[in-house]
């Protein structure tokens, strides 16, 4: 793919997905704590979202930053607009703004604790010999 094709693909992903997360790794296997926390916040709200791993090709990050004007990863877009990175998303999560922005039910729900960047503990009984 050329850089223009990558940029077009990224723009289409932003335009076609109401909630779009560009991250390092995947929601199931994040490759950094910031991406883990951002995906965790969306998951805690029960939000349907699309995610794209930016790690397979360095040009993805370069072209994404050219579109958004935002240098860091993760980047969350809602309704085609850049919301921001992990710090902004976590602040919005804690104040309830994220739930409102994505249309997640907030009223009557139990408070949800912000996800941590810590990986889950390793359980020996899950290891196979």
Q: Is residue 116 one of the residues assigned to a domain?
A: no
Q: Is residue 78 one of the residues assigned to a domain?
A: yes
Q: Is residue 110 one of the residues assigned to a domain?
A: no
Collapsed DSSP state (helix, strand, coil) of residue 21: strand
Look at the chain and report how many structural domains it folds into. 1
For position 61, which CATH number holds? 3.40.30.10
Q: Is residue 97 exposed (0-12), middle (13-18) or buried (19+ Cβ within 10 Å)?
A: middle
Q: What is the pTM of this model?
A: 0.81
Q: What is the pLDDT of residues 12-46, one digit of tens each?
A: 999 999 999 999 999 999 999 999 999 999 999 99
> pLDDT at residue 110 above 80?
no
Q: What is the pLDDT of residues 84-106, one digit of tens each?
A: 999 999 999 999 999 999 998 75
Domain of residue 62 covers 3-103
Q: Is residue 119 one of the residues assigned to a domain?
A: no
Q: Which helix (H) or strand (E) holds 12?
A: helix 3-16
Query: Mean pLDDT in the chain?
Result: 86
Q: What is the pLDDT of residues 43-78, one digit of tens each?
A: 999 999 999 999 999 999 999 999 999 999 999 999
Q: Is residue 85 one of the residues assigned to a domain?
A: yes
């Amino acid at each position: 793919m050329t850089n223009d094709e990558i940029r077009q693909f990224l723009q289409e992903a932003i335009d076609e997905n109401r909630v779009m997360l560009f991250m390092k790794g995947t929601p199931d296997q994040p490759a950094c704590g910031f991406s883990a926390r951002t995906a965790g916040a969306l998951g805690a709200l029960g939000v349907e979202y699309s995610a794209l791993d930016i790690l397979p090709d360095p040009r993805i990050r370069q072209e994404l930053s050219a579109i958004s004007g935002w240098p860091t990863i993760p980047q969350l877009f809602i309704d085609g607009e850049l919301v921001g990175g992990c710090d902004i998303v976590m602040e919005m999560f804690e104040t309830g703004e994220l739930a409102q922005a994505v249309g997640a039910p907030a009223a009557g729900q139990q408070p949800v604790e912000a996800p941590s960047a810590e990986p889950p503990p390793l359980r020996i009984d899950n290891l196979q010999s």
